[in-house]
Amino acid sequence: MISRAQANPRDASAFPQCSEFVRIQHGTKGGRLRDVPLTADAQRELLARVTTAVAPGMYVGRPGFTSVQNSTRSYYVIRKFGIAKKKLGVVAHGLRHQVANDAYEADTGSPSPVRGGDGRPEGDMEARMRTAGLLGHSRTRATTAYIGAQRRGPAVPAPVSDEAEAEAGEET
């Protein structure tokens, strides 16, 4: 884990609310350095467990095996624990789609297009840029496969929940 001050400025600026990041140097697309934001205690707990089992500079996998062999093993373990279309209706890469959609929705306050979002919410482009960065992409076009195509037309405000509407009425 690294601090916000140590993080790549591009990644740090995309996630202003995050104070901790994980630096990924090997296995990224194009070998580009990435600093991934840590947003949940579960992420920190998992990293603490992994770092006790894996030597610095190494990767999670069986020593003496190739990355392809370790990847095959990883997918085997994922299936063994039930993360499979037959058992849960999801696949490992589908979890990546879920994270992308959840991040977009957290940023805009509206469902993504693939989850039935209608129109183009306020902050759509910014949310797409942040989602692209979270996924390790430098272009928003790559996020379309995850969250859906950008709607045409002007941005519209996010829908107001009944609770927010009630609170606004109390303030006036």
Reported as a single tens digit per residue, the pLDDT across 60-71 is: 677 788 878 888
- Residue position matching structure tokens 């039930």: 82
107 belongs to a structural domain = yes
Q: CA triplet 168, 170, 171: central angle to 5 degrees?
A: 65
Q: What is the pTM assigned to this prediction?
A: 0.60
Angle, vertex CA 47, rays to CA 144 and CA 38, nearest 5: 45
Environment class of 117 (CB within 10 Å of its CB; exposed 0-12, middle 13-18, buried 19+): buried
11 backbone dihedrals φ, ψ, rounded to 5° = -75, -40
Number of domains comprising the chain: 2
In a domain, 42, yes or no: yes
Q: Which of 60, 84, 108 is the last residue of a domain?
A: 60
Domain presence at residue 129: yes
Q: How far is the CA of 159 from the CAs of 108, 122, 162, 171, in angstroms?
A: 10, 10, 10, 19
- The tokens of 19 are what? 């104070």
pLDDT tens by residue, 16-31: 888 999 888 776 667 7
Kindly state whether residue 167 falls inside one of the protein's structural domains.
Answer: no
* pLDDT tens by residue, 66-104: 878 888 888 888 888 777 777 777 777 778 888 888 989
Answer yes or no: is 51 within a domain.
Answer: yes
Per DSSP, which regions of 47-162 are E strands? 120-121, 155-156
Shared domain for 147 and 98, answered yes or no, is yes
Domain containing 27: what range?
2-60
Q: How do 120-121 and 20-24 pair as beta strands?
A: unpaired
pLDDT, tens digit (0-9, with 9 covering 90-100), for 124-156: 888 888 888 888 887 788 888 888 887 665 555
In a domain, 77, yes or no: no
Tell me how far CA of residue 9 lies from CA of 6, 13, 129, 158, in angstroms: 8, 6, 15, 29
